[in-house]
């Protein structure tokens, strides 16, 4: 299969996935007991008020019709209006998404920069002290709920040792957020630790697998040192599957952002979503789920494309 | 939680053929030589005994509040202190642990059963049915589980049974991918093709070859799934979906203790936090051990 065909097939698959996501989200939000009207108008609303609300919002029509109208509005970038904040959901998300992407992006990069060398070190010195210690730590951090980890970090580094603020920067723009870099440390570390736990394991496994390949034996026979083999040959080959895993890890990253943003009061999309859930602000909930899911699909697609560009075996369907 | 810790690279073990019934003794022997996995198994047994037998040895009242006994530090009368309404924390750790373990194990098994059915049908039938079924899985994976759980918490407050169904519903996707991959490799094996060629039915191919040969994959997937589900149970109380009072679970204890922890009452959050970490680590270690013992790929 040529690269173009492979890419076309992946893009079509991604579009199908996005379509299914819209159906899932639409169904979920129409499974509400009493419907969105109760959530907005409260339990004391009269039937007449509810009918009027449903008419105004188009909630009285058949579900397939509502779905198609919903899809049509989506294509024009209209995600509805927040019930509680009285602002277009698209605008609310557009203000907050960059902040979430920056926070998770910094966490992810920091996590990878640490996890990749650690994983390679573990593979090169398999069953050594460092390998066991890193494995134990990876197990512990993988098994720690993010909100518990964040809380312990706050208590240790913000209360007992008053080194860092327990609140993230609360500015409206990215520039304001970056004026208080100390406030970013704890949220970033909370996300990065979980990332290191998972990706050091991937990198270790991937490196071990490559170290058993014939090309490594050939290089060894030619007299190359382990360090040279790792740096010149194994590093790039081991990284390829890790790049693909990054795409699949995105839902976990965004889920983590939900927790860290709430815990550290960081004004990103996770906090917007959290507050929307507390106030039953369904248009905002719906919009956030959609945008996060589409971001995940696109991220996974990009990771697959990147992998196919690095590794010619992928598009041949052999890896 | 859909991420997993990655597998060991296949070593000498990968020379061994897929495990049939004769491979079980070999697998048990390999498992017993995996120190970490054996420790994990012991930890699970100890924690289960702690939660289910412990209350008989260390009886506490977990239903009535005793405000005169509230907020006591650890001491002789209350080994791990008491919470804001006077419940003994050590006793509550056993009381809540029952719910965490039962919900986690049930949800993990439910997710594995649903995932196995979905994945094996998709893999065995193939073609456009497979394509559609797997796009549904892709879509489910694209929506972060914590987001879905928070939306559900805005809609309803489930009981224990509802919680198991909800957690199973958000976590069957990864096992379905693993089982599908397993089915895809198995259905083109010579012995399956031979059976089909001499006139064996699809049902016979599935019953005689595919399922028995997938058992190890399913068992390994279920173990990791239980680990993830117990972790997810800890999240749901934080997200406002937890079991209702007077019942509680480790996640509920953590959520209830959050503010108290800021004012120094560490004994309200450290015990349930460590309990979650310990039991999730243990299930993951056992899963690792089983995977290596059965020589299963994936995860």
B178, B298 Cβ separation under 8 angstroms = yes
* pLDDT for position A44: 67
pLDDT of residue B80: 73
Instruction: Give B59→chain A minimum CA distance, Å.
Output: 28
* Contact (CB, 8 A) for B281 and B291: no
Tell me the H-state helices in B53-144.
54-57, 89-125, 127-142
**Angstroms from B199 CA to nearest CA on chain A:** 31
Return d(Cα A220, Cα B68) in angstroms, integer.
Answer: 72
| Partner residue opposite A289 with nearest CB, options B5, B147, B276 | B147
Residue of A nearest to B261 (CA): A155
- Picking from A201, A280, A296, the nearest residue to B6 by CB comes out as A201
Q: Which residue of A has its CA nearest to B144?
A: A251
Rounded to whole angstroms, the Cα distance separating A208 from A172 reads 46
Average per-residue pLDDT in chain B?
81
Checking if the pLDDT of B77 tops 50, the result is yes
pLDDT tens per residue, range A122-159: 888 888 888 888 888 999 999 999 888 988 888 888 87
Indicate whether this model's pTM tops 0.80: yes
Task: Say how many residues make up chain A.
Answer: 319
Question: Above 80 in pLDDT, residue B86?
Answer: no
Does position B91 have pLDDT exceeding 50, yes or no? Answer: yes
Query: Predicted confidence band at B115 (pLDDT cuts at 50, 70, 90)?
Result: very high
Q: Under an 8 A CB cutoff, do B146 and A17 touch?
A: no
Would the pLDDT of A114 be above 90?
yes
B contacts of A198 (beta carbons < 8 Å) = 3-6
Helix (H, G, I), strand (E, B) or coil at B82: strand
Give the span between the Cα atoms of A14 and A57, in whole angstroms: 30
Q: Residue B297: what pLDDT?
A: 60
> So what's the pLDDT on residue A32?
63
> What is the pLDDT, as a whole number, of residue A234?
80
Instruction: Give me the pLDDT at residue A314, please.
Output: 56
Rounded mean pLDDT, B155-165: 84
Tell me the C-alpha distance between A293 and A315, whole Å: 25
- Per-residue pLDDT tens for B214-246? 888 888 888 999 999 999 988 888 887 778 777
Q: Which of B54, B80, B70, B66 is nearest to B268 (CA)?
A: B80
Q: Tell me, what's the pLDDT at B3?
A: 47
In angstroms, the separation between the Cα of residue B212 and the nearest Cα of chain A is: 26
The residues, ordered by sequence, that sit 6+ positions from A12 with a Cβ below 8 Å of its Cβ are none
Using CB atoms, pick whichever of A31, A140, A251 lies closest to residue B142: A251
Query: Using one digit for the tens of pLDDT, what is the confidence trace for A170-204?
Result: 767 777 777 777 778 888 999 899 899 989 988 88
Contact predicate A71/A79, CB 8 Å: no
So what's the ipTM on this one?
0.81
CB A79 within 8 A of CB A93: yes
The whole-number pLDDT of residue A254 equals 87
Using CA atoms in the order B176, B177, B180, B184, what is the torsion angle rounded to 10 degrees?
Answer: -170
Max Cα–Cα distance, chain A, nearest Å: 85
Residues whose CB falls within 8 Å of the CB of residue B282, separated by 6 or more in sequence, listed in order: B39, B40, B41, B43, B44, B47
Select from A34, A208, A80, A72 the least CA-distant residue to A135. Answer: A208
The confidence score (pLDDT) of residue B102 equals 92
Of B9, B140, B238, the CB nearest to A147: B238
Residues 6+ apart with CB under 8 A from B156: A33, B162
3-state SS, chain A, equals: CCHHHHHHHHHHHHHHHHHHHHHHHHHHHHCCCCHHHHHHHCCCCCHHHHHHHHHHHCCCCCHHHHHHHHHHHHHCCCCCECCCCCCEHHHHHHHHHHHHHHHHHHHHHHHHHHHHHHHHHHHHCCCCHHHHHHHHHHHHHHCCCHHHHHHHHHHHHHHHCCCCCCCCCCCCCHHHHHCCHHHHHHHHHHHHHHHHHHHHHHHHHHHHHHHCCHHHHHHHHCCCCHHHHHHHHHHHHHHHHHHHHHHHHHHHHHHHHHHHHHHHCCCCHHHHHHHHHHCCCHHHHHHHHHHHHHHHHHHHHHHHHHHHHHCHHHHCCCC
Which B positions 138-177 lie with beta carbon below 8 A of chain A? 138-148, 150-156
Of A20, A32, A138, the CB nearest to B155: A32
| pLDDT band for position A37 (cuts 50, 70, 90) | low
Q: Taking 70 as the threshold, does the pLDDT of residue B298 lie above it?
A: no
Most confident region among B1-5, B91-95, B106-110, B156-160 by mean pLDDT: B106-110
Kindly report which listed range (A254-263, A269-278, B27-36) carries the lowest average pLDDT score. Answer: B27-36
Give the pLDDT band (50/70/90) at residue A1: low
Instruction: Inform me whether the pLDDT recorded for B17 exceeds 70.
Output: no
Q: Which pLDDT band holds residue B211 (cuts at 50, 70, 90)? A: confident
Question: Where along chain B do its domains lie?
Answer: 100-299
Give whole-number Cα distances, A73 to A40, A90, A155, in Å.
Answer: 21, 11, 46
Mean pLDDT of A271-293: 85
Give the pLDDT confidence score for residue A203 in this predicted structure.
87
d(CA B60, CA B96): 13
Burial class (CB in 10 A: 0-12, 13-18, 19+), B234: buried
**Does B62 have pLDDT greater than 50?**
yes
Phi, psi of A281 (to 5 degrees): -85, 85
Residue A84 has pLDDT above 50, yes or no: yes
The confidence band for B112, taking pLDDT boundaries of 50, 70 and 90, is: very high
CA distance A201 to chain B (A): 5
Contact (CB, 8 A) for B209 and B186: yes
pLDDT surpassing 80 at residue A162: no
Q: What tokens appear for B42 in the block?
A: 């012991």
CA dist B195 and B209 (Å) reads 9
CATH of B100-299, one of 1.10.3720.10, 1.10.760.10, 3.40.640.10, 3.30.70.370: 1.10.3720.10
Q: Residue B25: its pLDDT value, please?
A: 79
pLDDT recorded at residue A38: 62
In chain A, positions 176-235, which contact chain B (CB-CB < 8 Å)?
197-198, 201-202, 204-206, 208-209, 211-212
Q: Which residue has the higher pLDDT, B216 or A44?
A: B216
B79 interfacial to chain A (CB closer than 8 Å): no
Tens digit of each residue's pLDDT (9 = 90 or more) over A221-249: 777 777 777 777 788 778 887 887 887 88
In angstroms, the Cα distances linking B296 to A212, B119, B183 are: 18, 16, 13
Residue B184 contacts A, CB cutoff 8 Å: no
Cβ neighbours, 10 Å, residue B52: 14
DSSP symbol at B77: S
B residues 255..284 contacting A (CB < 8 A): 258, 261-262, 266, 269, 273, 276-278, 280-281, 284
CB B255 within 8 A of CB B242: yes
Identify the CA nearest to B220 among candidates B293, B292, B290, B120: B290
pLDDT band at B109 (very low <50, low <70, confident <90, very high): very high
For residue A132, give Cα distances in angstroms to A123, A129, B35, B176. Answer: 11, 5, 12, 31
Supply the DSSP string of B6-27, one letter for each residue: PPPPP-GGGGSPPP-TTHHHHH
A255 in B contact zone (CB under 8 Å): yes
Binned at pLDDT 50, 70 and 90, residue A300 comes out as confident
The b/e string for B138-165 (b: 16+ C-beta within 10 A; e otherwise) is bbbbbbbbbbbbbbbbbbeebeeeebbe
Residues B83 and B257 sit within 8 Å (Cβ to Cβ) = yes
- Identify the sign of the CA torsion B252, A149, B44, B61: negative
Specify the 3-state DSSP secondary structure of B88.
Answer: strand
**Residues linked to residue B82 through DSSP beta bridges, in sequence order:** B88
Beta bridge partners of A36: none
% of chain B beyond a pLDDT of 90: 15
């Amino acid at each position: 299969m040529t690269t173009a065909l492979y890419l076309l097939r992946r893009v079509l698959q991604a579009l199908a996935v996005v379509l299914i996501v819209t159906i899932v989200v639409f169904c979920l939000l129409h499974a509400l007991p009493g419907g969105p009207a109760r959530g907005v108008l409260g339990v004391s609303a009269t039937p007449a008020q509810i009918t009027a609300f449903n008419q105004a919002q188009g909630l009285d029509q058949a579900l397939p019709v509502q779905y198609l109208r919903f899809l049509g509005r989506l294509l024009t970038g209209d995600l509805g209006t927040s019930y509680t904040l009285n602002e277009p959901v698209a605008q609310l998300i557009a203000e907050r998404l960059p902040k979430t992407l920056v926070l998770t992006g910094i966490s992810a990069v920091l996590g990878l920069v640490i996890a990749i060398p650690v994983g390679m070190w573990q593979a090169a010195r398999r069953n050594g002290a460092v390998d066991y210690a890193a494995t134990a730590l990876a197990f512990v951090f993988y098994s720690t709920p993010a909100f518990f980890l964040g809380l312990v970090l706050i208590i240790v580094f913000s209360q007992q040792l008053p080194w860092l603020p327990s609140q993230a920067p609360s500015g409206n723009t990215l520039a304001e957020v970056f004026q208080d870099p100390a406030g970013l440390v704890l949220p970033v570390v909370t996300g990065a630790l979980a990332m290191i736990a998972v990706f050091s394991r991937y990198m270790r496994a991937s490196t071990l697998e490559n170290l058993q390949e014939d090309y490594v034996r050939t290089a060894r026979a030619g007299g190359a040192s382990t360090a040279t083999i790792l740096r010149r040959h194994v590093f790039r080959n081991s990284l390829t599957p890790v790049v693909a895993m990054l795409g699949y890890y995105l839902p976990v990253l965004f889920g983590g952002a939900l927790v860290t943003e709430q815990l550290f009061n960081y004004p990103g999309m996770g906090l917007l979503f959290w507050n929307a859930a507390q106030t039953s602000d369904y248009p905002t909930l719906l919009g956030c789920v959609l945008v996060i899911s589409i971001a995940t699909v696109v991220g996974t697609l990009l990771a697959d494309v990147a992998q196919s560009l690095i590794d010619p075996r992928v598009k041949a369907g052999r890896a | 939680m859909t991420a997993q810790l990655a597998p060991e690279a296949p070593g000498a073990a990968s020379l061994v053929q897929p495990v049939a019934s004769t491979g079980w003794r070999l697998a048990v022997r390999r498992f017993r030589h995996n120190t970490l996995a054996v420790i994990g198994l012991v930890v699970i047994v100890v924690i289960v005994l702690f939660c289910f037998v412990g209350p008989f040895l260390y009886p506490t009242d977990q239903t009535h509040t005793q405000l005169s006994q509230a907020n006591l530090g650890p001491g002789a009368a209350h080994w791990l202190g008491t919470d804001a309404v006077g419940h003994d924390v050590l006793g509550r750790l056993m009381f809540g642990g029952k719910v965490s373990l039962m919900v986690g194990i049930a949800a993990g098994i439910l997710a594995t059963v649903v995932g196995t059915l979905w994945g094996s049908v998709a893999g065995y039938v193939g073609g456009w049915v497979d394509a559609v079924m797997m796009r549904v899985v892709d879509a489910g994976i694209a929506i972060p589980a914590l987001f879905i759980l928070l939306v559900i918490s805005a809609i309803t407050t489930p009981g224990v049974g509802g919680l198991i169904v909800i957690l199973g519903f958000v976590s069957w996707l990864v096992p379905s991918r693993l089982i599908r991959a397993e089915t895809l490799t198995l259905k083109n094996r010579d012995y399956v093709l031979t059976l089909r060629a001499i006139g064996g039915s699809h049902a016979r191919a599935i019953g005689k070859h595919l399922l028995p040969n997938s058992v190890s994959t399913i068992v390994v997937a279920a173990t990791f799934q239980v680990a993830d589900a117990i972790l997810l149970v800890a999240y749901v109380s934080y997200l406002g979906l937890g079991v209702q009072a007077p019942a509680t679970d480790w996640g509920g204890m953590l959520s209830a203790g959050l503010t108290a922890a800021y004012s120094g009452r560490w004994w309200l959050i450290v015990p349930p936090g460590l309990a979650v970490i310990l039991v999730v680590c243990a299930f993951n270690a056992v899963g690792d051990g089983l995977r290596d013992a059965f020589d299963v790929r994936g995860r």
